[in-house]
């Protein structure tokens, strides 16, 4: 009976997803296979210059190759990105159809909000409260973080290591570079070295590879999606147990998309946590693992007898001193 109900709910969810799909696609329906062939052909025109191959064998003489070199688009990365099925000219306007490009071609650039009106409303509200929007000039925008050619949604990347690498690169490219930081920072503000700020966190570089900056620097209330409100440093997460416990909120956040997928596949929420392949916490941290096992053994032995308890406590004390 419950199986039936679950089936009905899944059926309804699938129908809803189907209805919502055209809306989710920017605000237009996704391209048909025929349209996609045309889009790819038109993009190949642009890439005949804007690619490594174009640079090596320019289809035209007398171009500014030095400039072109800093304007390359990598086809595979672009195709794998969220915008990989779009025509270049959807965002860049028609001024780029011919080369030399029109002098005012740049002015026709589409903004994120033009195509993502509904999402942008939610996100702008959060972004406007962030330290970057509040403390920095108008130059800090969506595009400062979002590379429209490369960025891919977490749910698309799937692998938590890839998600962390992509999202942390955004922050580190600026917070780990004096040059980039100075370009954005108010006058005379010096970049605090990222490892010094976080010196209370053991193994910082390993943490940068395993957990996103935004996990600690955004509010946690929103369970369904990542908040864009990067908060003031006083509000940042410092408690180890937030992540290093079997039921950590990190599971619910960084891996939330995996959970839903697994949920659809297996029909219950905790399967990813149970399979533990990506779970941090008790099962993933050898140091903490050992401490937990020691604690467990101590508890069991503690029941056995008074004499043993004494030995255990001295041992534990020694272990504690050792730590
Ligand atoms: C000309 C229209 C257009 C512009 C401009 C545009 N996008 Fe998109 N975007 C799309 C379309 C179409 C999709 C494709 C599919 C979809 O919605 O799943 C998409 C997908 C996405 C996705 C993945 C799906 C989702 O909605 O979450 C993200 C994230 C995204 N865009 C962010 C941005 C950001 C950030 C900017 C500004 C730098 C931007 N887009 C500019 C049209 C646009
Ligand atoms: C024949 C070669 C060629 C083709 C084809 C070409 N471009 Fe370019 N593009 C260039 C060169 C060279 C530059 C460097 C600056 C310049 O010469 O205008 C450039 C610059 C640009 C810039 C940067 C402009 C700026 O000042 O920030 C954009 C954006 C651009 N192209 C987009 C496109 C798009 C989109 C297409 C396809 C519709 C396209 N290009 C097709 C050669 C080409
Ligand atoms: C979803 C929108 C979108 C699509 C689709 C898109 N671009 Fe861009 N492109 C941008 C944005 C945003 C920038 C950054 C402009 C800025 O810095 O203000 C940019 C910058 C560029 C630049 C100049 C500077 C640089 O960083 O290289 C070139 C060249 C370029 N795009 C070419 C292309 C080509 C070729 C395609 C198709 C294969 C394409 N773009 C597809 C949004 C898009
Ligand atoms: C400080 C960097 C930063 C800025 C600024 C920023 N974003 Fe994001 N954005 C991210 C990161 C990191 C993600 C996470 C990617 C994921 O989880 O898929 C993301 C995810 C998204 C997504 C997909 C997830 C969702 O919640 O739907 C959209 C759409 C988006 N951003 C749009 C915007 C818009 C619009 C702006 C400007 C108002 C903006 N972003 C400004 C860093 C930024
Ligand atoms: C292009 C540069 C740039 C990028 C990208 C960027 N930041 Fe920043 N960020 C700054 C600058 C500059 C400041 C200093 C603002 C000030 O002190 O007025 C800052 C400040 C901060 C602060 C400090 C707030 C405080 O209380 O002093 C935090 C936290 C922060 N950023 C986190 C992030 C995270 C997380 C990301 C990635 C999602 C990110 N930043 C991306 C430039 C950047
Ligand atoms: C485990 C949680 C955690 C992670 C992960 C984390 N931070 Fe922090 N961050 C903090 C805490 C807590 C503070 C406040 C430290 C203090 O005040 O002593 C802080 C402070 C900061 C500051 C303020 C610097 C200052 O003093 O002006 C910046 C900027 C910052 N972090 C950026 C980042 C970036 C970029 C990343 C990703 C590479 C990151 N953080 C990852 C917890 C974290
Ligand atoms: C936002 C989440 C988060 C917070 C907060 C956090 N960590 Fe971690 N930590 C991780 C992740 C994820 C890993 C990588 C685990 C893995 O790869 O198995 C890690 C790894 C570690 C490791 C290395 C374990 C090994 O395999 O070598 C140590 C030690 C550690 N954390 C200690 C701490 C301490 C102490 C604190 C509090 C000061 C803390 N962590 C706070 C997420 C976090």
Predicted confidence at residue 312, as pLDDT, reads: 53
Kindly state the tokens that stand for 221. 């209330």
Distance CA 218, CA 212 (A): 10
Is 255's pLDDT higher than 70? Answer: no
Give residue ranges with CB within 6 A of ligand 7.
200-203, 206-207, 210-211, 215-216, 237, 240, 242-244, 250, 280, 284-287
Nearest to 46 by CA among 95, 103, 108: 95
| Minimum mean pLDDT range among 190-204, 249-263, 305-319 | 305-319
Atom 28 of ligand 7, residue of closest alpha carbon: 202
Kindly state the tokens that stand for 231. 């908060």
**Over residues 48-73, mean pLDDT:** 95
Contacts of 298 (CB under 8 A, 6+ apart): 312, 315, 316
pLDDT class of 258 with cuts at 50, 70, 90: low
Distance CA 283, CA 227 (A): 28
Question: Which atom of ligand 1 lies at the shortest distance from residue 86's CA?
Answer: 12
Phi, psi of 31 (to 5 degrees): -65, 145
Predicted confidence at residue 115, as pLDDT, reads: 95
Atom 33 of ligand 6, residue of closest alpha carbon: 213
142 CB near ligand 1 (under 6 Å): yes
Ligand 1 centroid vs 18 CA: distance in angstroms? Answer: 19
Nearest to 214 by CA among 125, 130, 95: 130
Ligand 5 centroid vs 26 CA: distance in angstroms? Answer: 28
Ligand 3 centroid vs 140 CA: distance in angstroms? Answer: 18
Atom 11 of ligand 1, residue of closest alpha carbon: 26
pTM, entire model: 0.85
CA dihedral 294, 297, 298, 302 (to 10 degrees): 180
39 CB near ligand 3 (under 6 Å): no
Across 157-175, b (16+ Cβ under 10 Å) vs e yields beebeebbebbbebbeebb
**CB contact at 8 A, 149 and 73:** yes
Ligand 5 centroid vs 108 CA: distance in angstroms? Answer: 29
Atom 5 of ligand 4, residue of closest alpha carbon: 142
Distance CA 289, CA 299 (A): 15
Is 283's pLDDT higher than 60? Answer: no
**Long-range contacts made by residues 95-104, C-beta under 8 angstroms, separation at least 24?**
96/46, 99/49, 99/60, 99/63
DSSP letters, 248-294, are -HHHHHTTHHHHHHHHHHHSSTTHHHHH-SS--STTT-HHHHHHHHH
Residues in the chain: 323
pLDDT, one tens digit per residue, over 200-212 is 999 999 999 988 9
pLDDT, one tens digit per residue, over 116-151 is 999 999 999 999 999 999 999 788 999 999 999 999
Domain boundaries, the chain: 31-110, 111-238, 290-322
Question: Which atom of ligand 6 lies at the shortest distance from residue 242's CA?
Answer: 1
Ligand 2: which of 99, 107, 108, 143 to mutate, judged by most atoms within 8 Å of the beta carbon? 99
SS3 state at 103: coil
Across 272-297, b (16+ Cβ under 10 Å) vs e yields bbeeeebbbbbebeeebeeebeeeee
Ligand 1: which of 21, 22, 39, 82 to mutate, judged by most atoms within 8 Å of the beta carbon? 82
Question: Which atom of ligand 2 lies at the shortest distance from residue 60's CA?
Answer: 1
Ligand whose nearest atom lies closest to the CA of 114? 1
Is 302's pLDDT higher than 80? Answer: no
Ligand 7 centroid vs 193 CA: distance in angstroms? Answer: 20
Handedness of CA 163, 80, 91, 21 (dihedral sign): negative
Distance CA 216, CA 242 (A): 10
Omega of the bond leading into 225 within 30 degrees of 0 (cis): no
Ligand 7 centroid vs 282 CA: distance in angstroms? Answer: 11
């Amino acid at each position: 009976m419950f199986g039936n109900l679950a089936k009905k709910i899944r059926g309804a969810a699938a129908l809803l997803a189907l209805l919502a799909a055209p809306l989710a696609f920017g605000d237009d329906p996704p391209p048909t296979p025929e349209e996609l062939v045309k889009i790819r052909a038109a993009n190949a025109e642009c890439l005949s210059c804007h690619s490594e191959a174009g640079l090596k064998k320019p289809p035209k003489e007398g171009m500014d190759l030095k400039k072109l070199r800093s304007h390359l688009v990598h086809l595979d990365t672009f195709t794998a990105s969220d915008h990989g099925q779009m025509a270049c000219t959807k965002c860049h306007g028609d001024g780029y159809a011919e080369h030399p490009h029109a002098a005012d071609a740049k002015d026709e650039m589409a903004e994120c909000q033009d195509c993502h009106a509904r999402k942008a409303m939610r996100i702008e509200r959060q972004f406007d409260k962030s330290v970057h929007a509040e403390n920095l000039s108008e130059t800090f925008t969506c595009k400062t973080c979002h590379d429209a050619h490369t960025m891919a949604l977490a749910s698309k990347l799937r692998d938590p290591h890839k998600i962390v690498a992509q999202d942390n690169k955004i922050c580190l490219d600026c917070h780990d570079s004096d040059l980039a930081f100075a370009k954005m920072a108010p006058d005379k503000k010096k970049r605090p070295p990222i490892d010094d700020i976080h010196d209370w966190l053991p193994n910082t570089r390993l943490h940068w590879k395993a957990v996103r900056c935004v996990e600690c620097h955004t509010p946690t209330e929103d369970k369904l999606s990542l908040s864009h409100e990067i908060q003031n440093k006083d509000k940042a997460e410092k408690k180890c147990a937030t992540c290093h416990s079997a039921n950590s909120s990190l599971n619910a956040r960084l891996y939330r998309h995996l959970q839903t997928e697994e949920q659809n596949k297996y029909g219950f929420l905790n399967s990813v946590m149970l399979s533990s392949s990506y779970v941090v916490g008790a099962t993933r941290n050898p140091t903490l693992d050992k401490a937990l096992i020691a604690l467990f053994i101590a508890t069991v032995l503690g029941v056995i007898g008074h004499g043993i308890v004494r030995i255990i406590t001295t041992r534990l004390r020694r272990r504690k001193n050792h730590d």
